[in-house]
Structure formats: structure tokens, C-alpha cells
Amino acid sequence: MLIKKPSDVKSSEITPENVYRKRREFMKETAALALGGSLFGGALNALAQNGDALKGRAPEALSLAAPAPWWEQKFAEVSPAPDQEPYFTGETLTPYPDVTRYNNFYEFGMDKSDPSSRSEAFQTDPWSVEISGEVAKPGTYNLEDLLGPMQLEERVYRLRCVEAWSMVIPWIGFPLVDLIKRFEPNSKAKFVEFETLVDPDTMPGVNSRFAIVDWPYREGLRIDEATHPLAFIAVGLYGSYLPAQNGAPMRLVVPWKYGFKSIKSIVRINFRETMPNTTWNDLQSNEYGFYANVNPEVHHPRWRQDMERRLPQTLFSRQYIETRQFNGYADQVASLYSGMDLAVHY
Ligand SMILES: Nc1nc2c(c(=O)[nH]1)N[C@H]1C(S)=C(S)[C@@H](COP(=O)(O)O)O[C@H]1N2
Ligand SMILES: [Mo]
């Protein structure tokens, strides 16, 4: 096993992603010269072999232990992101430390550092997801049954938080539609509702007296949004498994909507005829709508939405960039909302 525990990884081995990419290109050339990699012998683990072609792979990510043994095989078969939009963006990837230490996951606390620093007790094995409502195949599925048949792929997406910061993240997962199809929704399934785990023993934010959320965290999509090819279920990032703070073992990623739609650590998917209640809409409906499409023309009542801070900010650059309609995915998704007044349905 080449996978190391975090304590075994020296900081000198943790290379910045851009340096890493260069080294990977070099290794690719060398491997080609050596005709199929005999240069490396057979000792590399599956993640390392496969990671050679991925767009994003961080050495720190490779130190994560697999949630269960069967995950290793799944991650050996990830297809790399293609070279063009919308499944890949040429923008600089947000480095792994920022993606995994600057998080919103209120079940672990309200500070950006809480999800990474207070999630060490969180468990993803065993894990099951309840599928209910307007489907032919409801039931409680364990993770292996749920993920086993899925072909994993890499997608590099922009993530735009409603708080006006953004990242570029190399996810690993599969299109949500591929999962939905397997449950055979009927014609009454007009909306899909998602719920996050609530476990006070391992999620210290849940019983906090500062908690503002009425748990479980809930989100929802219209069925045409949920079955759009860009809607994604992530089970990994940067070439490896999803850390707790990013929504392990499986979370939604809806790249054209504000980040709060991308619900983490899902335990229930319910198909229904009516629009579900959603966490942020319930908390403050004049500030957070059900649709929550990224829209530089519709401002939050307390701040503007036409600019964003692309993380990480540095001492030398505050990294302000313009926010794009539908977060840059308008060509793919604008037609879902034709005829709707987006200032009303924010
Ligand atoms: N269950 C749950 N899911 C959640 C949240 C949360 O607090 N709880 N925060 C959301 C918000 S506001 C954002 S911006 C994204 C952040 O995802 P990331 O930490 O992986 O970048 O997760 C979303 N999903
Ligand atoms: Mo967010």
C-alpha cells in the first residue's frame, strides 16, 4: 500500500498543484518512452496509476484512507475530465488546502474552519440512503449497492457561494441523472428533495446553542434540473475520497446554483409532486430563494452579487472577478428557465 497516513506525509512532499501538474506531464512523457510504464514496476497503487491522467490530484488527498475497501477499486476506474467546458474549466484549480479547510457545513459548526477541525469522529461506513416517494423502486440502499454500478468520472467545476466567494474544484463522481434513472421515477415526480444526516454524536454543530438551522439540512431541485447532465453527485475530489468536511460519503454539486444548493452527506432522496421546503429558503426567504441560480443581476439584499472573490486570496492579490450568469453555465442551463422572471424566482 502506497497510501500514507497524514502524519507520514512530510510537508516537503506536499507540492503545490501547478508544480505537481508539471511533474505529472514529465512523468507522462517518461512513461510513454518506457512503453507502458514498466519504468515504475507494478508497485503503484490503483489511485496513483489512474491519477496520472486526472486534471486534479493532490498528494494530501492520496493520504486519505478509503471509506471501505471496495472504494479503492471504484477509484481505480475514474475517467479523467475532458479538455473542454462545461465538464472542465481551464481556470486555475483552487488548491487542496483551501478546498478542504474553508467550508460551509453547519452541522459541524458555523466557522469556515469548523468542518475540517471538528469532524474527526464522523463515520461514513456503514452508510445508507433512503429513496422514497414517486418512484417504482423505493427502499433503503446501502452505499455499496448505490455506488457500485456507477461509473466514476472527474469534473472540474466552478463553485460560487452566495457569500460571494468561489472556488474551482476537481470533483469525482457521476451525473445525478444516472442514479435517478435506477429508481424509475413516475410522472408525479416533479421535484427531488434531499436530506443530510443528523448525528449529534459526530456532528458537534447540531446541538450547538448557536445553531440556526432546523435539522436536517434540506435541499431540492425541480426534476428537469436534477436530471440535467451538469447536476452531479460527488464522492471524491482531487483524485481521492471526499473528506468529511466536503460532504462524505456523497453530496450534490449543482454548479450553476449558489453553493447552498449543493447539499452534503446525503441520507435521503425523496421524489415528490410539490416543491419541497429547503433550509435557507425557510430561514430567510427574502434572501435565499428555492432556485438560487447564480445571477449577477439579482443582488442579495445585504450585498452585491456581480463580483466574487476567487479563492485563495493572497497578500498580493484580492482575486476579485466578475460573477457570470448561471456561474458560466448559461449555454447549458438557461433554457431550463425560459419564460421565468429570474428576479422573482431568485
Ligand atoms: N448539509 C449541508 N450541506 C451544505 C452546507 C451545510 O451547511 N450543510 N453548506 C452549503 C454551502 S453554503 C456551500 S457554499 C457548500 C460548500 O461546499 P464545500 O465546503 O465542499 O466547498 O456546501 C453546501 N452544502
Ligand atoms: Mo454557500
pLDDT tens for the chain, residues 1 to 346: 333 444 444 443 444 444 444 444 544 444 443 333 333 333 344 555 566 689 999 999 988 999 999 999 999 999 999 999 999 999 999 999 999 999 999 999 999 999 999 999 999 999 999 999 999 999 999 999 999 999 999 999 999 999 999 999 999 999 999 999 999 999 999 999 999 999 999 999 999 988 999 999 999 999 999 999 999 999 999 999 999 999 999 999 999 999 999 999 999 999 999 999 999 999 999 999 999 999 999 999 999 999 999 999 988 888 999 999 999 999 999 999 999 999 999 9
- What are the residue boundaries of the structural domains of the chain, listed by start? 90-337
Q: How far is the CA of 26 from the centre of ligand 2 (A)?
A: 37
Give the pLDDT score at 47.
57
**Atom 21 of ligand 1, residue of closest alpha carbon:** 103
Give the pLDDT score at 253.
99
Q: How far is the CA of 329 from the centre of ligand 2 (A)?
A: 18
Give the pLDDT score at 317.
87
pTM of the predicted structure, to 2 decimals: 0.88
Sign of the Cα torsion 15, 19, 21, 25 reads: negative
The identity of residue 322, as a single letter, is E
Domain 90-337: CATH superfamily is: Oxidoreductase, molybdopterin-binding domain (3.90.420.10)
For residue 267, give the ligand nearest its CA.
1
**Probe residue for ligand 1, chosen from 165, 253, 262, 305 as the CB with the greatest number of ligand atoms within 8 Å:** 262
